[in-house]
Amino acid sequence: MYRSAFMALAILTAGGAAAQGFNQAPPNAPDQTPAFDGQTRAPVLSDTPLSRQVIADGLDHPWGMAQMPDGAWLVTEKPGRLRIIAADGSLGEPIAGLPKVDARGQGGLLDVAIANDFAETRRVWVSFAQPREGGKTATAVATGILSADGRQLQEMNVIWQQQPAWKSTKHYGSRLVLDGEGGLFVTTGERSDPEPRVYAQNVRATLGKVVRIDPISGAAMGDPGVAEALPEIWSWGHRNIQGAALGPQGELWTIEHGPKGGDELNRPQAGRNYGWPRVTYGVEYSGQPVGEGVTQLEGTEQPVYYWDPVIAPGGMAFYEGEMFSDWQGDLLIGGLRAGAVVRLQMQDGRVTGEARHVQGIGRVRDVAVADDGAIMVLTDAANGALIRLTPSK
């Protein structure tokens, strides 16, 4: 059934060169079928030529970014550095005052966010892989004040720590999203290995979760709906959420890495279980089923959309701006494996089309929409770059 739908889509779109691309790749799990029409392999949208301008390069595996009111960008680098890239592209020295990070494996300094009233408060948040006792690590969040000269973070406090810590250097998450209602969403990973991954289903742990906390104190502001659950938990059953953003109505959306196949776009709602590792549209890297190989299970939520093969998603942003008038409300996603900006056309909470833009640009770790409507991307490399995308003239 899945293969028939796949072949039909290929025939319908065969008139365009894009049809010979990403939707032609065979799935890793050919016997799995989507739960509803349009849940995967949406119709291929035509590509749009984009102009690229390298704003700054020489970045060491940049991970997250946030635009400041003056047009400059705060950018994190995985080894544990936070820098300011000015509007003219000049690259500042590393900002002092960050907490110690563990940069092994997939760890390091991860996301950065700034307060809506940053012009007055200069408040900044960062997420990072925190070294813990006995060689263990865990995701953590800290907040502080960026000095007026932009050289140091002051009054830095670690306000939240993932529990339990684990001897793993994988699957930390982690995106930071201020929800506009006084809370801070933090996304986490389940640390990947078979032993810790089961904690994604444990509501007494914060592995494989979306949590919601007070952005200043770190106090719990979740809504798990389960009496025994940790009060900061918002949703659970996630694998490794490295993308999160508020949608057009202020609702939270996330995107997470699947195993071999099964990258997921979700709209996490309070008190809901998103299945991992009991439910997935992927398989183990060995090709064997994950658990019982189940794609649907009562009591768990279906992804809005999934990919098999994977795109290996990074950060994400909903487009709102003037440069791309036809893209209002579309979802832009960094594709690490895809090596592109993945655009999903959205309608009534569903995906109605998919495009891959600037293919070959490199591993896109994060995507943001600049104040002027340009699309900004970070490429994840030893010589990573902040790149500005605009419509080709």
- What are the Cα distances from residue 73, in Å, to 27, 245, 317, 369? 38, 18, 16, 12
Q: Is 355 exposed, middle or buried (0-12, 13-18, 19+ CB in 10 A)?
A: buried
Query: pLDDT tens per residue, the chain (393 residues)?
Result: 343 333 333 333 333 344 348 999 999 999 999 999 999 999 999 889 999 999 999 999 999 999 999 999 999 999 999 999 999 999 999 999 999 999 999 999 999 999 999 999 999 999 999 999 999 999 999 999 999 999 999 999 999 999 999 999 999 999 999 999 999 999 999 999 999 999 999 999 999 999 999 999 999 999 999 999 999 999 999 999 999 999 999 999 999 999 999 999 999 999 999 999 999 999 999 999 999 999 999 999 999 999 999 999 999 999 999 999 999 999 999 999 999 999 999 999 999 999 999 999 999 999 999 999 999 999 999 999 999 999 998
pTM above 0.85, yes or no: yes
Q: Is 11 exposed, middle or buried (0-12, 13-18, 19+ CB in 10 A)?
A: exposed
Per-residue pLDDT at 110: 98
Per-residue pLDDT at 393: 80
Domain-wise residue ranges, the chain: 2-391
Per-residue pLDDT at 9: 36
Q: Provide the annotated active-site residues.
A: 171
Which pairs from 227-232 meet CB under 8 Å and 24+ separation? 228/203, 228/204, 229/203, 229/204, 230/203, 230/204, 230/205, 230/206, 232/160, 232/206
Q: CA 228, CA 245: separation in Å to the nearest integer?
A: 28
CATH topology of domain 2-391: Neuraminidase (2.120.10)
What's the chain's length in residues? 393
Q: CA 104, CA 120: separation in Å to the nearest integer?
A: 36
The 10s digit of each residue's pLDDT in 325-378 is 999 999 999 999 999 999 999 999 999 999 999 999 999 999 999 999 999 999
Q: CA 33, CA 281: separation in Å to the nearest integer?
A: 9
Q: CA 110, CA 103: separation in Å to the nearest integer?
A: 10
Closest Cα to residue 343, out of 379, 367, 370, 361? 367
Peptide bond into 174 cis (omega under 30): yes
Per-residue pLDDT at 209: 98
